[in-house]
A and B are shown apart, each in its own frame.
Chain A
Amino acid sequence: MKGALLLAEGLAKAYPLRGGLFARRSQILAVNGVSVSLNKGETLGLVGESGCGKSTLGRLLLGLEKPDAGCVTFDNEVMPSSKAAAWRRLRARMQLVYQDPLGALDARLSVAEQVGEPLVIHGIGGPAKRKARVLALLALVGLSEQHGARLPHELSGGQRQRVVLARALATSPDLLVCDEPISALDVSIQAQVINLFMDIQQKFGVAMIFISHDLRAIRQISQRIAVMYLGRIVEEGITDDILHAPLHPYTRALVSAVPEVRKPRARRTILAGDPPNPADRPDGCEFHPRCPVAMSTCSNLKPLLLGSGSRGRKVACHLAAANASQPLGAH
């Protein structure tokens, strides 16, 4: 695809499962045949329950983990292995924002030093230029020079997340992978950080993979959404297409599970059972044991992620494919 910044095809990653001495050796398929494309300046929201492989996918896309199968292309070049010098150079153009800002920051370095660190690592500018750049970055995320002199523990949770974001933006990256960047924050602070992400999108046109389990936050930031279940993408499309008329029964359950204040309680689809264990993968469609509308086909034939309609919508569900253009929510 022309204009694609990031292109991943058929990514798979398995981790060995450590059992006892005599236990059968097995493995967990964290990501199982995922293809993703992301245009310049576009944001893709990645949703799913814990253990669905969304964080692993984020790490694969950045080249932090080596995929067992498939490949990632960044700006039309194949992603070099994470040990190569070429990859380290590329890292200036793609950055990761973690969930836990206190864990991601060094407790003994001042905020300004940490924001400037990527500039030092990638040899960008001289000392004077770097200092100015750090101040500009702090101002960009709404922090003052005084904040820069402090240590991470002297800041609030929301301010720390701003610092992490400022540091990630230091090298003017083309791609940000944000792994649950707002989950640990209070509601009122979440709103500020979401606003900040929206501003940064508009100002710099940076492309983002926004990983979250919070559909409300994802809607604010993402143009497209990919829903993951047990290591596979089960539905993909334009954000409001998916949220307002989900085709996959799992997406429907996710959407209806979101607690809403503003509208009267509609009938909810409550999923039976827990998020699945990736070590114990069911046959057929991975979702069928929890699916309220599963058919006999679903337990033995894995549905493919197929296009549905003209707006780039894709869904992996036998029933949705059978109903074709008619949304499942209709009955």
Chain B
Amino acid sequence: MRELLTIEQLSVAFGETRAVRSIDLQVRKGEAVGIIGESGSGKSVTWLGALGLLPPSVAISGRVLLDDQELLGAPAERLWQIRGKRVAMIVQDAQSAPNPVLTVGRQIIEVLQLHRGMGERAARAEAKRLFDLVRIPDAEQRLKFYPHELSGGQNQRVMIAMALAGRPDLLIADEPTTALDVTVQAQILDLLRDVQRETAMALVLISHDLGVIAEVCSRAYVMYAGRIVESGPVGDLFATPCHPYTRSLLEALPSLDGPLQRMNAVSEGTPGAGLSRHGCAFAPRCADRADLCGRVEPELTADLLGRRVACVRADHARPLEVVA
């Protein structure tokens, strides 16, 4: 499979704070990739930076290639063309994202006119098709609704329909279900998965919920304090996590089955991006820490099976026992 998007050595700094540090990441055509991390890990900033959505005062370096086209430093005009058409993004708060004073139909028609040069009538017909695609019932009527007249789940569907309007090659979904009820979350995840398969679109799903990632993605990256600490195929990653942070995230997740036990929680301490100048950023919270960890920042090393891990003790790390 060909790489659709390649990020090389991407760094993002807000003044002294290095929010993202030398990230390498690839998204192949038609692939669903997960980005896992807690708040402050840099998982959203990576994408805002890559797509030129951060203010000019923010220092960004590295390379972001869409096919063979460099996005970093590309003229604003060019980025406008790419965003919304080749690459689309949906955000967590679907209730406030659409323009409240325009009907949802008007907003999606505008996208179609802008990015696909459609006339009013063709755009209206296409808008209805998109609403059907994201399974909004009674699509014809719903086009006339204002965002406040729709529920949170419906608004998230509208946002997905709008993102799909430009027929993107890549959809970036930043915590698309976090604000929704579990039953609606299940609907939206199913929808994203179906749309991604039907349209052969690549999907980047950003989430702190490992369950959500496991259900949708085939490959995932785990971020901590602005760095990628582990990556690999989702099945392997969750069955045998190599990095202590990935392991602790899995152990921190209660299950509906199995014996009830006290959870193995990571010690307190938000991952302050760029906090530690020396050594592994996770070391202060790590149960497996060695002397070396406080001094040397571990390299992200690859193995033959497509797994990458940044931990000096990765060889000693015991794999999590898989609960059948």
Please give the residue numbers on chain A whose beta carbons come within 8 Å of chain B beta carbons, in ascending order.
49-50, 142, 156-159, 186-192, 194-195, 198, 213-217, 219-220, 243-244, 253-263, 265, 268, 270-271, 273-275
Q: Return chain B residues, CB-CB under 8 Å to A254.
A: 182-183
Measured between alpha carbons, how far is A273 from B269 in the docked complex, in Å?
40
- If A186-B39, A274-B153 touch, does A260 touch B211 (CB 8 Å cutoff)? yes
Number of B residues, CB within 8 Å of A: 46
Tell whether, in the assembled complex, residue A216 and residue B254 are in contact, meaning their CB atoms are under 8 Å apart.
yes
Determine the residue in chain A with the shortest Cβ distance to B322.
Answer: A262
Which listed residue (A158, A188, A259) contacts B211, Cβ 8 A?
A259
Please give the residue numbers on chain B whose beta carbons come within 8 Å of chain A beta carbons, in ascending order.
38-39, 137, 151, 153-154, 181-187, 189-190, 208-212, 214-215, 238, 248-257, 260, 262-270, 322-324
| Additional A-B contacts beyond A259-B212, A263-B257, A265-B215 (5; CB < 8 A) | A187-B38, A188-B266, A191-B266, A214-B182, A217-B254
Tell whether, in the assembled complex, residue B257 and residue A188 are in contact, meaning their CB atoms are under 8 Å apart.
no
Q: Return chain B residues, CB-CB under 8 Å to A219.
A: 254, 256, 260
Which listed residue (A195, A262, A273) contacts B255, Cβ 8 A?
A262
The interface residues of chain A, by DSSP majority, are classed as helix
Tell whether, in the assembled complex, residue B210 and residue A261 are in contact, meaning their CB atoms are under 8 Å apart.
yes
Measured between alpha carbons, how far is A273 from B181 in the docked complex, in Å?
12
Determine the residue in chain B with the shortest Cβ distance to A259.
Answer: B211
Tell whether, in the assembled complex, residue A194 and residue B39 are in contact, meaning their CB atoms are under 8 Å apart.
no
Measured between alpha carbons, how far is A257 from B190 in the docked complex, in Å?
11
Chain A min CB distance to B252 (Å): 4
Q: Return chain B residues, CB-CB under 8 Å to A256.
A: 186
Which listed residue (A142, A244, A262, A270) contacts B186, Cβ 8 A?
A270
Tell whether, in the assembled complex, residue A50 and residue B254 are in contact, meaning their CB atoms are under 8 Å apart.
no
Q: Return chain A residues, CB-CB under 8 Å to B255.
A: 216, 260, 262
Determine the residue in chain A with the shortest Cβ distance to B135.
Answer: A272
Measured between alpha carbons, how far is A258 from B208 in the docked complex, in Å?
15
Measured between alpha carbons, how far is A273 from B248 in the docked complex, in Å?
36
Tell whether, in the assembled complex, residue A215 and residue B256 are in contact, meaning their CB atoms are under 8 Å apart.
yes
Chain A min CB distance to B157 (Å): 10
Tell whether, in the assembled complex, residue A189 and residue B268 are in contact, meaning their CB atoms are under 8 Å apart.
yes
Q: Return chain B residues, CB-CB under 8 Å to A273.
A: 137
Q: Return chain B residues, CB-CB under 8 Å to A253.
A: 183
- If A194-B263, A220-B260 touch, does A257 touch B183 (CB 8 Å cutoff)? yes
Tell whether, in the assembled complex, residue B187 and residue A270 are in contact, meaning their CB atoms are under 8 Å apart.
yes
Tell whether, in the assembled complex, residue B182 and residue A258 are in contact, meaning their CB atoms are under 8 Å apart.
yes
Q: Return chain B residues, CB-CB under 8 Å to A188.
A: 38, 248-249, 252, 265-266
